[in-house]
Amino acid sequence: MLLAIESSCDETSAAVLDKTIVLSNVISSQLFHTDHGGVIPELASRAHLQSISAVVREALVTANINETDLSAIAVTTEPGLIGSLLVGSNFAKGLALRLGLPIIPVHHIEGHLYSGCLEDSSVEFPFVALVVSGGHTSLFYVESYSEYQVLGSTRDDAAGEAFDKVAKLLGLGYPGGPLVDALAQKGNSSAYSFPRSMLHDGTYNFSFSGLKTSVRYFLQKNFHEGVPSEILPDICASVQQAITDVLVAKAIRAAIETNVKSVVIAGGVSANSRLRKDMNYRGQKHSIRIVAPRMSFCMDNAAMIGFLAEKKFQEQPEVYSRLDFRVQSASLRAKRT
């Protein structure tokens, strides 16, 4: 049995896995950040510290095991908010030391990358993965559990950041993505035209900061006294369509050009209803299978960390006895082969 801990941003999560079967996946979200319009790092680490023992205990109880049944511990060590990463890592380290267990450091984005395989064990390598969250937007060509290449990434804002910033401009809450998604369901996505940056540039890179600026100018010009509530759904639907059009086009083109049969979408933004619909529609047209993990495996969660840790541990069990690993706030290896 493996216990995994994830605390890289504003979710404290713990999961228990029996090999690759998830027995529990407890996620405690720090909802108070809503009041601040974004995640405050200092407050996030303090909240992790408060909740981590209870979250881990709940994961063990739900899985119906004792800590003595554990044979390894996995923890997210990069990238993320440094204080938040330190809370999870130190907790994991203390537990590993006390129980005399190996500890497996896991890269958060790599966790998202393989969450499609956690959802559906029939996904075959190689596949293309689109990881879209509040901090990352990248396309990967994934060959195995230890080999993948970054095909492209955002040059500025992440897609989730674009959703969050536009939501802020519209006076909606945080995180903005789910709120924009909900309002967009009632709106017309062709009501307004917002830029689809880098759509036809031939690369797999993205850019979303121009969209945010364009929405800001649009609002200043047309609604300087506030956006009437009846217009909000149309603006949300149009902005959402501008973001998802680029994500879908590049992910599908990547799959066609690399000749893979599946595209995995992962990270918080992969919960977006328009993204899922359009990906499925375009995927079907090109006989490409779209794998979208359930919400609890899409958002930040410990199950995906445990799943990858299990794969890493199976490959090289001898390398995980060290307790002097590092945590890092930012890192994404350009290429890992």
Q: Which residues bind ligand KG4 (CB under 6 A)?
A: 9, 133-135, 160, 163-164, 175-178, 181, 267-269, 271-272, 299-300
Residue partners of 259: CB distance under 8 A and separation at least 6: none
**Residue 129 binding target from ligand KG4, Zn ion, none, CB below 5 to 8 Å by type:** none
Nearer to ligand KG4, 102 or 267 (CB): 267
- DSSP-assigned letter for residue 27: E
116 binds, among ligand KG4, Zn ion, none (CB under 5 to 8 A by kind): none
In angstroms, what is the minimal distance from the CB of 112 to Zn ion? 6
Q: 28 by DSSP, 3-state: which?
A: strand
Q: Which is nearer to ligand KG4, 145 or 163 (CB)?
A: 163
Q: How far is the CB of 59 from ligand KG4 (least distance, A)?
A: 18
SS (H, E, C) 118-156: HHCCCCCCCEEEEEECCCCEEEEEECCCCCEEEEEEECC
Site string for Zn ion, 132-151 (x = CB under 5 A): -x------------------
d(C-alpha 117, C-alpha 104), whole Å: 19
Give the nearer residue to ligand KG4 in terms of CB position, either 83 or 135. 135
User: In angstroms, what is the minimal distance from the CB of 97 to ligand KG4?
Assistant: 28
Q: How far is the CB of 240 from ligand KG4 (least distance, A)?
A: 7
User: Does 270 participate in binding Zn ion (rule CB under 5 A)?
Assistant: no
Helix axes 176-184, 159-169, angle to 10 degrees: 70
Q: How far apart are CA 3 and CA 92, in angstroms?
A: 9
* Residue among 94, 95, 109 at smallest CA distance from 8: 109
Applying CB under 5 A, what is the total number of residues that bind Zn ion?
2
Our CB check for ligand KG4 shows the closer of 3 and 166 to be 166
Q: Which one of ligand KG4, Zn ion, none interacts with residue 164, CB within 5 to 8 A by kind?
A: ligand KG4
Question: Token match 């017309």: residue?
Answer: 188
Between 86 and 269, name the residue whose CB sits nearer to Zn ion.
269
Q: Name the residue nearer to Zn ion (CB basis): 78 or 300.
A: 300
Binding mask 299-328 for Zn ion (x = CB under 5 A): -x----------------------------
For the bound state, the minimum distance from the C-beta of residue 66 to ligand KG4, rounded and expressed in Å, comes to: 30
Our CB check for ligand KG4 shows the closer of 30 and 133 to be: 133
Dump the DSSP string for 211-253.
Answer: HHHHHHHHHHHH-TT---TTTHHHHHHHHHHHHHHHHHHHHHH
Least distance (Å) between residue 167 CB and ligand KG4: 7
Torsion from C-alpha of 147, 140, 280, 136, nearest 10 degrees: 130
The token pair that represents 281 in the structure block: 């529609």
Q: What is the enclosing helix (H) or strand (E) of 66?
A: none
Question: Contact residues for Zn ion (CB under 5 A)?
Answer: 133, 300
